[in-house]
Amino acid sequence: MRALRLAPIGRLAPLLLAVGRMDAIQRLALVVAIVLVGLALATPLVAPVDPNAQSLLNRFRPPMGFEGARAGFWLGTDELGRDLLSRTLHGLRLTLALAFAGALIGLLIGGTLGLLAGLSGGRVEAAVMGAVDAQIAVPFTLVALFVLTIFGNALPVMVVVLGLYGWEQYSRIVRGEVIKLVRMPFVEAARAAGASPSRIAMRHLLPNLVSPLVVQFTLSVSNIVLLESTLSFLGLGVQPPTATLGAMVGVGRDFMPTAPWIVLAPALAILAVTFAVQILGDWLRDRADVRLRER
């Protein structure tokens, strides 16, 4: 019984040891990430009021501590008297969900196509790289505007559009790494021993692809947050009254001279998300790189 109780702790030991080796910036990023994810998950419990509830009598209330503030509105109110704290929390939740869903879809699409191109070669590789070149040649913002104009900007359409963003980068990275890895002695030895292509891909190629893919994933999350902000700025993102961080910044820009706090809260949230994802992504890259672990 005691062994069973200690087993989970034993499995957590390597992770706790890795966290203990973090530097100060990485630990700060970890704390920020835990707080952001915790707030996003607990938004229905911690948000003070309905994020869409309007009170025109409380328009442009400043945050607590400033003249004109009103009790209960900790971060102030916007142009319609909506509580900014509640809207920021709900916007953070939706923005994180969109960013990670979009980055994951891009990873699955681009990683799969890149793996097929690197292993198959020939016409498959030519077709995949032709699609990659076509994607790179056209600015994705124009593609997103075209798709959203035709199919509308419902939430499922937004997820698909954000998921298609950056898949070509995954394909190029995976294809290049696979072409390099298949010539390595350990892959040739596995092939000579009779290992199937699927086993070679799972046991020998994918572990060596984790490090560059982690870096690209973190970049994609940050870029998708900015893309969603751009689309919301143009009025083609998630539509009002649903709150996202980008939409809040886009709406609040018109009131910055008189009510800068409308933009400040969501902008700081975007900055915190980008900071945490980038720093932790760099740390995960080092932890996941099998070449660094073998040293």
pLDDT of 1: 43
Question: What is the domain partition of the chain in residue ranges?
Answer: 24-47+73-293
Q: Output 200-203 pairs: Cβ under 8 A, ≥24 positions apart.
A: 201/115, 201/119
Would you say 247 and 237 are in contact if contact means Cβ atoms under 8 Å apart? yes
CATH of 24-47+73-293, one of 1.10.3720.10, 3.40.50.300, 3.90.870.10, 3.90.550.10: 1.10.3720.10
pLDDT of 224: 87
Report pLDDT digits (tens) over 134-184.
Answer: 888 888 888 888 888 888 878 888 888 988 888 999 999 998 888 888 778
Half-sphere exposure of 221 (CA within 13 A, CB side): 23
Residue type for position 130: G
**CB atoms < 10 A from the CB of 126, how many?**
11
Residue with tokens 């995960």: 284
Residue with tokens 């003249």: 67
Report pLDDT digits (tens) over 37-96.
Answer: 999 999 999 888 899 989 888 999 999 888 888 888 899 999 899 999 999 999 999 989
Report pLDDT digits (tens) over 116-132.
Answer: 888 888 888 899 999 99
C-alpha angle 49-86-99 in degrees, rounded to nearest 5: 140
- Please give the full DSSP string across 154-206, using - where no structure is assigned: -HHHHHHHHHHTTHHHHHHHHHHHHHHHTTSHHHHHHHHTT--HHHHIIIIIH
Report pLDDT digits (tens) over 193-251.
Answer: 777 767 777 777 777 788 788 888 888 888 888 888 778 777 777 877 888 888 888 88
Reported pTM? 0.81
